[in-house]
Amino acid sequence: MKFKFALVFAALVSGGLTACGGPEAPSCDDSDTKDLVLEIVVDELVSQIGKTAAETVDLELDAIRTTDFNEKTGMQECAAELIAEGPGGETTADITYTSELTDEDDEFYVTVYGL
């Protein structure tokens, strides 16, 4: 399986966000951020290969790193290796994503690039 498209996917999450010392989006390796990234990837897999086939694929993020941090907005820019394992074997793809706060106090927005 190959990730064919360089598309942008985004999703919004509500949760109890707190930041010490100022506004800051959840970090690149925060469990809520990672879960949302994988949810976006699953949604893209379903659109590419169908729900039944997508359910046979195990996804994992590895080598997660923060590539930039905007002190003014609190936005985190991230990179990771996406590992997908299914009946056809294992494949990897380098992806990038952002985690940023919305104007709502308890929500953040994740955008994934490179799927």
Distance of alpha carbon 70 from alpha carbon 76, whole angstroms: 7
Q: What is the pLDDT of residue 54?
A: 93
Strand ranges across the sheet with 8-14: 8-14, 107-113, 89-101, 76-86, 58-69
Per-residue pLDDT of 92-115, as tens digits, reads: 999 999 999 888 767 888 999 988
Residue 68 token pair: 């930039």
Q: Return the structure tokens found at 50.
A: 């169908």
Q: What string of DSSP letters covers 39-69?
A: HHHHHHHHHHH-HHHHTT-EEEEEEEEEEEE
Residues 91, 110: Cα–Cα separation, whole Å: 23
For residue 22, the model assigns a pLDDT of 57
* % of the chain beyond a pLDDT of 70: 79
The domains found in the chain, sorted by start residue, are 8-113 (3.10.450)
Tell me: pLDDT of 34 over 50: yes
The chain-wide mean pLDDT, for the chain, equals 83
Instruction: Give pTM, 2 decimals.
Output: 0.80
Band of pLDDT at residue 19, cut at 50, 70 and 90: very low
Single out the residue of 9, 33, 19 nearest to residue 74, CA to CA.
19
